[in-house]
Structures are given as C-alpha cells and as structure tokens.
Structure 1
C-alpha cells in the first residue's frame, strides 16, 4: 500500500510539472517577465518532476524504501503554491509579501523532499548498497559512483531553497548574486547533477548498454564542483571561468556518454530520442555560457543560454525519460501513440532551435515562431501524460 501511495504522489508531481511546462512556454510567448519564466521552468517544471521521480527512484537505488510514504503528498502543495507565488511576484503591483510567502512555501516543500529522502538513505549515505541485481553486477561500480553524488544534489537543493528565501526576504545570501545565484544552484546543482547521477543508472538499462567508465567519474566530479563555482562567482572572474569550464566538461562528457550508449544500442524507443536531442542542446548551451564567461555577450546570448540549458538539455531529457516511464502507446485515447510523442519532442526541439536563432540574430519573428512551436510541443506532452494518468490510474 505504501509503494502505491509513493507512486501516486510521484505521478502527481510529474503531472503538475507538465502543466508548469505549458505555462512556462506561454509566458515566453507573451513576453512575460523573464524571472516568471525562469520560476515556471525551473521551480515548476524541472524541480516538480525531479522531486516526483526522486521519490520513486532514489530510495530503490540505495536499496531502501521511502521512509515516509506521505511525503510526496506533503511536498506537492507547498512546491506548487510556492512556484505560483514566485512566478507572479515579478509582475507590477504585486506586493512583495507574495514573493516571500511563495519562496517560503517552495523552500518548505523542498525540505520535505530532502528530509524524506535523506532520512531514507541516512544509513547508506555513500550509496554502497545499490540494489543492483545479479544480472547487472557489472554495473555496480557505476551505480555506486552515481549514488555517492546524490547527497551533493540534496545539499544543493537546501542551498538553493535557502538562497531563494534569502533573496526574496532580503536576508544574508550565500552567493550574493540575487535570484540568478539561486537559479544556478538549483538548475546546475540539482537539475543537471541529478540527471547525471540518475541518468548513469537509468539510461544504460533503457539502452541495454554501458557508458565509458572514465567519463562517469569525470562528469560526476565536474558536475558537482561546477555549480558552486558558477553560482558564487557569476558574471566575471577566474573562478567563474573555472566553473564554466567544469560545467562544460560535465555536460559535454555526459553528451558523449549518452551518444555512445545510443549508438551501441539496438533499441530505438521514442523516449530515448529526447535525451539524445537534449544533450546536443546542452552542449550548445554550455558553449554559450563558456563564451559569455570568457568573452562576454549580448542579452540575446544570455537568453539563448538559459533556454538551451533549461528547455533543451533538462527539458527534452525529462520529457524523453517521462515517455519511457509512461509510454503513450499504452493509452487508448485519441492521439495516444508514439507519433504524437515524437511530435511533442520535435516541436520542442525545433521551436527551441528557431527561437535561439532569433535570439542570437535579433530576429523577433523567429523568436515568436519558435516559442509558438514550443507551446505546441509542451501542450502535446501534457496532453499525453495527463491523458495516460487519467486512463490508467483514474487520476
């Protein structure tokens, strides 16, 4: 019964995350405040989905069961209300208290997640016990290495949650870089690093292949160090550049590892194309970030960097993995098939590509067309996911 309760809570986090993805693309299309888009994309879509799948996957990866099955039901309303509060705060005439309340709610939801997962794995923090079966004994080194960095992810989540509250409530901050510091702690330290840790356990099994072992160590180490250096030294200086290089190595190394896995594998399920396109977008995104760190750039470069990493790398990877866990083809409602799933990812990827071109070249029409395509892709993703949840689980 407790396992079913955790699974239900995980699905609800993923479902709400899908709705935030749609809202994020709409705010981009109508040119809402930039900060609102970041909140809806990062705090809403990415981190709701991360929390949902984290509840479902991380305990089993540490050979444990979630110690508090009610935790997902507790964190969801806090994270959701917090995201809404933070998203509306940048609009004119919205009282500052709305942003403070939103930040506190979201931080409390994050702490529920950290507390539940942390308490579950408290006696196995290094992740030496992996739950790896005998048939996968050759993967145990990679599984242990990936597990060892999960506590780092949780630490970044606590730091990012505190930074969000501190900036909103004018308290002493960790990075001194405003909400940009909080966003980088959460996007790179939680979103990207968890993609690396979970990805090295999950994706090789999906593809029935093995990643290059040396790349695993390099990616995890660089991915753990980079976010702190970037967030604490944004916009200039030696350590900012070191952090940008570390992030480039991490994302680039993960991209190489996934492409190798994909090429070696004979499996070509529709969801596996999401991470494939996502890692390519991620490489371009961190390349823009590195260029910004070493040579500077226009506001268009900054926006392209943010969209490529958040919607391209994290977004398309998440969408593809979600289609692996929840295959649309098992549904019987209209459009529930792999073609619609492929169309969803195709619209997101093509829309992002057109938007990035428009952003870098200063072509507003291209940006608008790209963002419209992204709205369509996000809507198809939400339609498939929510339709499947309703049909299969009555939710």
Structure 2
C-alpha cells in the first residue's frame, strides 16, 4: 500500500468520528498553546525587565545600607563623600517613603516619595518632560518644591498644567516645578507614580536624617569594578569590617541575576505546560486503542486480502500522528492569538519566536507518534482469522 493511500485511509478514519477526534485533539491543543503562551510571557517579561535595567545605564552602582542596631544608615554628608572616590561621576542618595498627594478636591494615596539631590537626574538617567528638576540650591535651602510623575499629574491635576501650581503633600504645600518623563514600571516600582522633592526636605518630613539607598554613577562601564571596590572598602571601614551591613551591586550583576531567574522560571513554566501535552498523548493512546477494537474486523479483512503488518502499523501510526499534528497546528494558532490578546488588552509583553513554535509543534507530533505506537503495533499483530471472528 502506498504512503498516499495510507494517508487517505487515516484521514477517512478521523473524519468518520469528528467529535471524538476533536476531543482527543483538545489535550494536544491545550498543551501546545499553554507551552507557547507561558514561554512567550516568560521571555517577554525577561525582555521588559532587561530593558528597564539597561535604561538606567550600565555604569550605575546601587548601594543599600542595612547596618546593625542603631548604626543602620549613612548621613547625607557621608553618602556624598563617595563622590571623591576614583572613577565616580555622580552620587545620588535617596530618602524614600509613602505620602498622600492632594490638589483641590482630588486626592491620591500611597504615592511613592523620593527625596533626592541635583545629581539624581544624571545618575538615574531621569529627565523631565516639562519644567525643571531639583537643583542644588533647592537641597541647600530645603525648598518646598516637587517634581511629579505623569500618573500623579493625570490623577489629581487632570487637564490642568501643574507647573507653578501648589500641591499638598501630607498636608504641606509644595510648589510644582516639573513633570517627570514617563519611564513605566521597573523592579523598584512605577516611575510614573511618584513625587520627587529635595532630600533635605524629605528627611525633615520623614523625620529621618539617615540615608539607606545611594545610587552612584561611574565615569564609564570600564571603571565600574573599580568604583564598586572603592565603595566597599569605604563601607567596610565605616561599619567596622561588617560585610553584612551593606550591599553593593552594579547593573551587570543585576542583569545576570534577573536573566538566570527568568530562564529558570521560563523552563519551569514550559515544563509544567508540557505535562498537559503528555496527558493529551495518553488521550490519543486511549482513543487509538478503542479505534483498534472497533475496527478489528476491518483489520482482519484487509489482512485477508493481502495487507501486510507494516501497512496496518503505518495506517494507525498515521492516524495518531495526524490527530496530534492537526492538534499541534491549532494549538500554535490559538497560542499566538492569546499572546496578541494579552499584549493588546492586558499590556503584557509576550515574545513568540519561530523556535518556540517549532519545538511546541514537534513535541506534540512526537507525543502523538509515541503514544500511538502501542495501539498501532497491537493492530498490526492481529491474526486475520481471529480478527474476522471478532464480534
């Protein structure tokens, strides 16, 4: 029997039981689409986080002070002394908290507050879309001025131009001097839902003179390692050789860590989704065994008129492969459709590659052939006399 004839017979057997075939395919469809969706979401999330980290600059060094007991922070002056280290181009200590912003009758609660100095814009690569940023004079004279994130502006100002207006921050009047450029969300939270004021003003508001977060900009990516070493040496001396009192890391290290975690999560999600493909394969085996039983007399007749064992084996393997193959194609299309909906409606970044699609489809095909092998082999081994006598 030719291959083309075997394909036609396989398709005829599938079409004869449309509903049963579709339900059998369903496990494969769900499995393939789940693999594509979960892996694509994982890759998209990794890409988004990577882009956010890279947007901060590859020469950024982050210092976090944990300390011990009452010695758990640096003063503003101690933090700024890091600017004297070799290779440092800017230092931006940050005092942070949560506040309520109000303008007129509009109120926005749980807004992120950051007290910064004039170097913050350069160190964190943060620009303003209108107005100006915090200046050294604002810090020196503890000015009550504020730069707002675009989400805060939209929430409490609406269509009103906020520049020059007075906004209440925890009941205290501040003059709005600028609006931040939109940068979206990152691991540190939303950059568009925050208020920035001079660090000296923030310390007074938060009743804390200490600084725990410091951003340091190296002159170039090449000297980042040197800058990290100098800062660690300074902090080690400051905290009496206690290495657990602080953490210093750069963007490259953070990027490597994020990529490692994301890759592990993507593999785990893909593996979990792959389990449903195996379940779909078991469903194929079950249906093919039922099909062999139903068509025992047909198999006996075909063998009696000259069909060989390999012809029967090929036919049932082709039926199994066709079910899984068609299910795989539908699963690929469904997965791509869901990815587009997630991106368009939920704003979730998804990244589907040809490699993911090919791997998911190929795996579905392999699953179908593997789980169809036993029923096909069973069918091919039937003796014509026994098959013809089967009721």
TM, length-normalised to structure 2:
0.18
Instruction: Report the structure, 1 or 2, having the larger helix content.
Output: 1
Bigger Cα Rg? 2
Q: Which has the higher contact order (CA 8 A, sep 6+)?
A: 2
TM, length-normalised to structure 1:
0.18
